[in-house]
Amino acid sequence: MRIAYLDCFSGISGDMFLGALVDAGVSPKLLEEAVVVVLDIGAELKISRVERGGIAATKVDVYARGEKDLPREMYWEQRVGEGARDGCREHPDLHTHNVNDQADSGKQANFSRAGAPARHGSVAHGHGCGLSEIRQIIGKAAISEGAKTTAIQIFEALGAAEAKIHNCSVDKVHFHEVGAIDAMADIVCAAVGAEALGIHEWICSPLNVGGGTVKCAHGTLPVPAPATVELLKDAPVYSSGPQVELVTPTGAAIVKTLVSRFASFPAMKIEKAGYGAGSRNLHEHPNVLRLTIGEAAEDRGDVSFEKVTVLEANLDDLNPQVVAYAIEQLLAAGALDVFTLPAQMKKGRPGTLLTVLCKPDEADRLTKIIFAETTTLGIRRRDEQRQVLSRRWEKVETSWGPVRIKVGSMNGAISNYAPEYEDCRMLAETHHVPLKKVIQEALRLYANGWHS
């Protein structure tokens, strides 16, 4: 299976994604033709080789009517005077992001300097361009159906995010004319280029969103911008390095549309890699997006990583029998593991450290159980990563009945195995034999290959 990995250690933007596509082998001519067939208003791509933090990368710029310094992000405005309010505030100005790094972030522009309203196909855009017009433009373009679908999905993700931020219907938000030209070039080329690579699965690293603040029409806001936050829901993000905006709304929308999962660098046979450059050469921080393409390695039971939540409480005034009952309740409620350790509390009191491992989305529910079943007044919580071996169940047939065997493996080789305790216990109680005898027999049968 052909996979692609987006390494967003310096964020992602529309132009960085296009640069990475070209650097990884997508034909520049293919993208240039896509701009021509969709945008018949003189937009063109300028592709160059640059250096970012000592790394050679490809830079892609969009020129509309011969100008480069145009908005290269989503700038939405309400059509004033057309009854399109529905909770939206009137915005005669653009929603511009005066961003500090990526090229597809905003420098405020006025369409009047570019001449009369242009027409994309049969759609005029003197007052802005809504999603319905964008769908029509892309739908009529001479690009593949798959690329059309992807491009429209990216626009719809952006529109939905902006509509939620501005508390209005997605049908009531509109592109400013100049912003529409640039954003459409970025998004259509992203869809066409991504399809050209023939990728079966897109995987993404956690995203470095940057930091600091960003100026927009409504004042100064913290990074990431509101639309970016909305688009990156459920995605792993962090802030590191330069205090500038590293993930733009267009970049976030591309990730939201293309990426199927987030993970560390996947096991693959690397075929090629490409680097797409942002507009700024940041000190001690290469402002590039890395795209790595290859064949997914066969799943041989390698170690994988998963996020877990750790809940801890110190108990020094609770009957040990109640602690044991609380452990049973927590395990029955879905905790991955629960254990206790003896602890020396203040003033010399003996106590118990209760630790619970769980999935992050189970933490709130299990916290309530700890408060209800113990006497603690506070619970510590932290998120951690754990490495886990690939696991599978096999079965052996003992003379007393079946026993499941949990098998862990690494690099295709069995690392360890153990009989399921509850199975062995049930057989021991039913047939009145020592528990250790059932366990020993199950292990012997598995070691001799008598399993299924």
pLDDT tens track for 45-63: 899 999 999 999 999 998 8
Find the mean pLDDT for residues 16-40.
90
The backbone torsions φ and ψ at residue 293, rounded to the nearest 5 degrees and listed phi first, read: -125, 140
Find the mean pLDDT for residues 300-305.
61
User: In 3-state terms, what secondary structure has residue 222?
Assistant: strand
Higher per-residue confidence, 412 vs 86? 412
pLDDT of residue 217: 61
The Cα–Cα gap between 236 and 257 comes to 15
Mean pLDDT of the chain: 82
The Cα–Cα gap between 100 and 80 comes to 30
> What band does 297 get if pLDDT is binned at 50, 70 and 90?
confident
User: In 3-state terms, what secondary structure has residue 284?
Assistant: coil
Reported as type and span, the H/E element at residue 447 is: helix 435-447
Q: Among 125-134, 222-231, 270-279, 294-303, whose mean pLDDT is lowest?
A: 125-134
Query: Is the predicted pLDDT of residue 77 greater than 60, yes or no?
Result: no
Share of the chain above pLDDT 70, in %: 80
* Residues 328, 339 contacting (CB under 8 angstroms): no
Find the mean pLDDT for residues 71-97.
35
User: In 3-state terms, what secondary structure has residue 310?
Assistant: strand
The Cα–Cα gap between 159 and 169 comes to 9
The backbone torsions φ and ψ at residue 74, rounded to the nearest 5 degrees and listed phi first, read: -75, 115
pLDDT of residue 38: 73
Q: Each residue of 336-346: pLDDT tens digit? A: 999 999 999 98
* Residues 3, 200 contacting (CB under 8 angstroms): yes
pLDDT of residue 127: 45
pLDDT of residue 90: 30
The backbone torsions φ and ψ at residue 144, rounded to the nearest 5 degrees and listed phi first, read: -65, 160
pTM of the model: 0.61
**β-strands 337-344, 259-262: how paired?**
unpaired
Q: Among 34-38, 246-250, 260-264, whose mean pLDDT is lowest?
A: 34-38
Reported as type and span, the H/E element at residue 311 is: strand 304-315
Reported as type and span, the H/E element at residue 384 is: strand 380-388
CA triple 225-54-107, angle to 5 deg:
30
179 conformational bin, left if phi > 0, alpha if psi -120 to 50, beta if neither: alpha
Find the mean pLDDT for residues 25-38.
90
Angle formed by the axes of helices 145-165 and 249-258, nearest 10°: 130
The Cα–Cα gap between 114 and 132 comes to 24
Query: Is the predicted pLDDT of residue 271 greater than 90, yes or no?
Result: yes
pLDDT of residue 25: 96
Q: Choose the most confident range, by mean pLDDT, from 178-182, 224-228, 428-432.
A: 428-432
**β-strands 268-277, 288-296: how paired?**
antiparallel
Cα–Cα distances in angstroms (integers) from residue 338 to residues 34, 209, 330, in the given order: 57, 35, 7
pLDDT of residue 417: 93
Query: Is the predicted pLDDT of residue 96 greater than 60, yes or no?
Result: no
Query: Is the predicted pLDDT of residue 80 greater than 90, yes or no?
Result: no
Query: Is the predicted pLDDT of residue 440 greater than 90, yes or no?
Result: yes
DSSP code for 243: S
* Listed residue (38, 57, 54) closest to 279, CA to CA: 57
Please confirm whether the linkage preceding 286 is cis (ω < 30° from 0). no
* Residues 365, 422 contacting (CB under 8 angstroms): no
Cα–Cα distances in angstroms (integers) from residue 42 to residues 16, 47, 120, 294, 357, in the given order: 22, 16, 11, 36, 58
Query: Is the predicted pLDDT of residue 252 greater than 60, yes or no?
Result: yes
Query: Is the predicted pLDDT of residue 99 greater than 50, yes or no?
Result: no
- Both tokens of residue 403? 């026993």
Q: Each residue of 130-189: pLDDT tens digit? A: 788 888 888 888 899 999 999 999 999 988 988 888 888 887 776 654 456 777 888 999
* Residues 401, 291 contacting (CB under 8 angstroms): no
pLDDT of residue 311: 97
Return the bridge partners of 340, or none: 354
Reported as type and span, the H/E element at residue 414 is: strand 413-419
**β-strands 237-238, 207-208: how paired?**
parallel
The Cα–Cα gap between 124 and 118 comes to 6
In sequence order, which residues have a C-beta less than 8 Å from that of residue 229 and are 6 or more positions away?
none
Query: Is the predicted pLDDT of residue 79 greater than 50, yes or no?
Result: no
Edge-first strand order for the sheet with 390-398 is 390-398, 401-410, 413-419
> What band does 120 get if pLDDT is binned at 50, 70 and 90?
very low
> What band does 405 get if pLDDT is binned at 50, 70 and 90?
very high
Domains and CATH numbers, the chain: 2-296 (no CATH), 304-388 (3.30.70.1380), 390-447 (3.10.20.300)
pLDDT of residue 92: 28
